[in-house]
Amino acid sequence: MEFSGDEKRIQALFSELSLEDQTRAPRFSKLWSRAEANTPAPASLVTRFVLVATVVVVAMSFVAVRSWLSSSQSQPVANIPAQIIPTTAGPRVQHSELAAASKIVARPRRFTRRQTERTAITQAAMLSNWQSPTNILLTSPTLSVLSSLPQLNQSAKDLEQFLPKKNNELIKESKQ
């Protein structure tokens, strides 16, 4: 399809515009050389290797530090000190210890996660070992006899061994 009528006239005006633009166009070599000057040099193989190695080392150290941190956090759970069973004076001490522990928790200091866990473990250990102050009333010298049952096929003599030592000695003396 060829231009006709108005189209030819419009094309003539565009041609005039084109001629005007062409006289003012910058040289190709000028723009091309400027673009070339702005092109960054490609990274050499050594640079690339160093870059990759650095990334690998950083990643490995990050993984190592993370695993060390997680293992150090789990250690206190395994190293719970053996708790001494308290005597009659125990409950008072325990109460004071509990109060001290709760004070630590109540302090408005910034606790780390590890410290909080340790406190919780200590408190749990103390609570599990707590004994009632009236617990002593439940114990008696014949507790061992009461807590163990004689076998049905044993003779009466053998049953003596279940008696308390003092009684056994008295019987022996009376026999003598």
Partner 1 sequence: MEISELKAELEKLHQASFGWALNCCRHNRSEAEEVLQTVYLKILQGKAIYRGESKLQTWLFAVIRKTAATEHRKQVLRSLITLGSPAEKSSSEPELELEWSELQRRFRQALAGLPTRQRETLHLVFYQDLSVAEAAAVMNISIGSARRHYERGKKRLRESLDREGVDYGIQWRRKENSGVVL
Chain positions contacting partner 1, by CB under 8 A: 1-3, 6-22, 24-26, 28, 31-32, 34-36, 38-40
In the complex with partner 1, which residue's Cβ is closer, 32 or 68?
32
For residue 140, what are the CA distances in angstroms to 128, 147, 166?
A: 24, 11, 15
Name the minimum Å distance from CB 4 to partner 1.
9
In the numeric block, which tokens belong to residue 39?
């092109």
d(CA 93, CA 98): 9
In the complex with partner 1, which residue's Cβ is closer, 32 or 62?
32
In the complex with partner 1, which residue's Cβ is closer, 26 or 141?
26
Using DSSP's 3-state secondary structure scheme, residue 27 falls into coil
Are 143 and 162 a contacting pair, CB within 8 Å? Answer: no
Residue showing tokens 């870059």: 51
In the complex with partner 1, which residue's Cβ is closer, 28 or 108?
28
Name the minimum Å distance from CB 48 to partner 1.
17
Name the minimum Å distance from CB 52 to partner 1.
21
HSE, CB side, 13 Å, CA atoms: give it for residue 145.
11
Name the minimum Å distance from CB 33 to partner 1.
9
